Structure 1
């Protein structure tokens, strides 16, 4: 199933059922008006939506309209929980190597996760507004899952059944603010502004055999200023899968329906596929040349993040954003 949230003048938008080929959409207010309402009663409402989804794809819904990505908010325009991991530990290892820091062995067995701000996400086609280029503006191309209600202490094996939706993410990072914040020993805050998610959220079954072991086995494609920046495979070199991340996050607390958990920057040991953030490319330059030559994003720069099936068809729609100067 594919779902979206259209902008309708309200904070949480209007839930839309979207056809598999992303050409048609229909509102389903009799079942659920918003994405959060659906997630709150997933077991009850999902079977009803499944029937309508089949009818939509078969061309049997007379009230269907043409799907328009530009009308989409992030699938959850705001959420009760947004926790982002760093499941590709080779990426962490690279960053630490570039600054001459040893990496603790525990990083390979205990996931890294930070709790991000979730009260306001950026729409997938909206500008990234920043007050200064000096912040070191970076994109991070990722995948995220959305859960239903998860009990505290859930096992990795049982966590898998709580993964209800998948999305793409641009986890915007302000690299020049990170060192000062981490130096305080209290984690990210100003250096992690609002993130953006793909126009479409999908149920895992939409991926067929590309969803295995709680991983997405497809490349995540990023373009910077219309030029290919990277297409690493999300199923390769993922140290912690999504079931492990859910179990880790729920170790000491329950998760409410609509909790979002991110994978962290997609990264492969084989660097020929490129990278999913500017920081990684800069680290490779430092290791090779002693200094970084790739700049962070400037006003006017654009980033596009998308994933395609084996036939070249977009699965989630695209995150397509421009960095612009924020003026209060």
Structure 2
């Protein structure tokens, strides 16, 4: 099932997406819900970020071929950092190029959406605490990342975490193709089978550090081919079984 969050007129609600048909739901996708009789065409609604996380936890250097590309050692443990909820945007929203940066990069990533409040879960228990998966773009001010000792500034600008277009609840995340297209040209192309730390290990590892809440998002690292975006560029993250997350880069007004 593809779960979306959307607005129609002044009303914001969750729904399901099947092709071009949007059906409203009553209740909470993290608990029990019913599909209502409200139906819309996809072109009639505005897609929003599919969830509203309290926090976004990101994983660095989690693809074997990306580590080889950078000539870096495989890490012994996941490298994690936080992106604030204020960095979140949805499909078709604009990524704003910060005035203080001269190099803004794309990073296509698979996002995990947490289903319920968890703390200290095992790898074996992790699957039952996942609502589903989404596309994400870990936008990064690369020049500032290299300048700073830690990554908070480079990763945290408003609009630096597009996610969407949906949360897919019925896919196996271990073997999915993942691509990034810049102005229609493929720049990143890999498969989640190349991850160093798999989805369930990451959920367990992070839950042993911090409490995770329903709707929290873990973005799981990027494959090789990271590069820069310019104002006016169109960037698309495509993940097998989920769909395409499309955004445009815009200058700060």
2:26 is the alignment partner of 1:38: no
1:244 paired residue among 197, 201, 210: 201
Runs of 4+ in 1 over 4 A off after TM superposition: none
Report what 2:175 is aligned to. 217
Structure 1 pair 123/151, CA: closer, same or farther in 2 (3 Å)?
Answer: closer
> Partners of 2:152 and 2:87 in 1: how far apart?
14
Deviation digits for residues 296-324 of structure 1, max 9, x if unmatched?
2221122112234xxxxxx4332222211
- State the 1:66 CA deviation: 1.2
Report what 1:121 is aligned to. 88
How much is the aligned-residue C-alpha RMSD, in angstroms? 2.4
- State the 1:62 CA deviation: 5.9
Report what 1:270 is aligned to. none
1:188 paired residue among 131, 142, 151: 151
> Partners of 1:305 and 1:252 in 2: how far apart?
29
> Partners of 1:179 and 1:266 in 2: how far apart?
19
Structure 1 pair 225/245, CA: closer, same or farther in 2 (3 Å)?
Answer: same
- State the 1:202 CA deviation: 0.9
- State the 1:9 CA deviation: 7.3
Asked if structure 1 preserves the Cα contact closer than 8 Å seen for 2:48 and 2:90, the reply is yes
Q: How does 1:1-328 map to 2 (within 5 A)?
A: 1-7=1-7, 13-19=12-18, 22-28=19-25, 31-32=26-27, 37-39=28-30, 42=31, 45=32, 48-49=33-34, 52=35, 63-68=38-43, 71-76=46-51, 78-86=52-60, 87-95=62-70, 97=71, 103=73, 107=75, 109-132=76-99, 134-181=101-148, 183=149, 187-192=150-155, 193=157, 194-203=160-169, 205=170, 207=171, 211=172, 215-235=173-193, 237-267=194-224, 275=225, 277-278=226-227, 296-308=228-240, 315-327=241-253
Q: Secondary structure at the match of 1:247?
A: helix
Asked if structure 1 preserves the Cα contact closer than 8 Å seen for 2:82 and 2:152, the reply is no
Deviation digits for residues 91-146 of structure 1, max 9, x if unmatched?
24533x3xxxx64x6x1x31111111113411211111113384311111010111
TM-score, normalising length from structure 1?
A: 0.69
Q: Secondary structure at the match of 2:229?
A: coil
Instruction: Name the structure with the higher strand share.
Output: 2
Q: Over alpha carbons, which structure has the higher Rg?
A: 1
By relative contact order (CA 8 Å, sep 6+), the higher-ranking structure is 2
> Partners of 1:190 and 1:64 in 2: how far apart?
41
- State the 1:38 CA deviation: 2.8
Deviation digits for residues 145-175 of structure 1, max 9, x if unmatched?
1112343221111112111110000111110
Aligned residues: 249
Instruction: Name the structure with the higher helix share.
Output: 1
- State the 1:220 CA deviation: 1.3
Deviation digits for residues 43-93 of structure 1, max 9, x if unmatched?
xx0xx54xx4xxxxxxxx8642212397101102x3112101132244245
